[in-house]
A and B are shown apart, each in its own frame.
Chain A
Amino acid sequence: DIQMTQSPTSLSAAVGDRVTITCRASQSIGNYLNWYQQKVGEAPKLLIYGASTLQNGVPSRFSGSGSGTDFTLTINSLQPEDLATYYCQQSYISWTFGQGTKVEIK
């Protein structure tokens, strides 16, 4: 099984800050990497697919990069509504989620 490891587990940042979340795969997955946002009490929402392509309707302050084993989700100019847990997910072999990164607003 492919393991997905995110860091940090949680972070606290101020409105307007730039936030970076990393995701590492236990083996190369090309760009078969998606990012989801989950707010408390809600279902996850697709943000980015193929490591770097923004899903329709997602604000442009979100961006993704990486390939192979190392990936990054960046939120430029953090907004109050970005309070959520973010998950990476691979679909290269079967499907696996990272353990999540909780983003809090200072």
Chain B
Amino acid sequence: QVQLVQSGAEVKRPGASVKVSCKASGYTFTNYYMHWVRQAPGQGLEWMGRFNPNTGGTNSAQKFQGRFTMPTDTSITTAYMELINLTPDDTAVYFCAREDADNYVATLDYWGQGTPVTVSA
């Protein structure tokens, strides 16, 4: 069965960077885009970007451009989310999610369990 298992909680100082991992299993990793979505405490879902493991292509929300990357190691079917120059506003739970484009509308059909990231001095 499809599984996305994320790394554990992180606590960072302002100005630091964070790298969250998402280990995929149960499907052909390079056949599906991987997305990153975050959720600040008590807030809604915010789309950050997506990565194509087959081509290396990326799309990201404008507000994160220049500060957010999605390195991937296809040999171990693991996607990463790296965010630099952290501020307290980056405190959130970060989710990876697989894009299913097999239907006529792309969806996020499988999600990781979420990784809490706390940014505090």
Contacts and interface: CB of A to CB of B under 8 A. Distances in A.
Given A91-B106, A94-B61, A100-B44, A43 B112 contact: yes
B44 A94 contact: no
A31 B105 contact: yes
A46 B45 contact: no
A32 B35 CA distance: 17
A53 B103 contact: yes
A94 B99 CA distance: 13
B89 interface: no
Chain B contact residues (Cβ within 8 angstroms of A): what range? 20 to 34
Contacts of B47: 89, 94-97
A70 B104 CA distance: 19
B109 A44 contact: no
State the main secondary structure of chain B at its contact with A.
strand
Contacts of A98: 44
Contacts, number: 62
Interface string B41-54: 00011110010000
B30 interface: no
Contacts of B104: 50
B105 A95 contact: no
A55 B103 CA distance: 11
Contacts of B62: 1
Given A1-B62, A44-B111, A34 B105 contact: yes
Interface string A35-58: 010100001111001110101000
Most A C-beta atoms less than 10 A away, residue of B35, B104, B105, B108: B105
Nearest to A32: B105
A79 interface: no
Given A87-B45, A97-B46, A46 B105 contact: no
- Top 6 closest pairs, chain A to chain B, by CB: A43-B111, A50-B105, A97-B45, A100-B44, A95-B47, A49-B107
Interface of A: 1, 31-34, 36, 38, 43-46, 49-51, 53, 55, 85, 87, 89, 91, 94-100
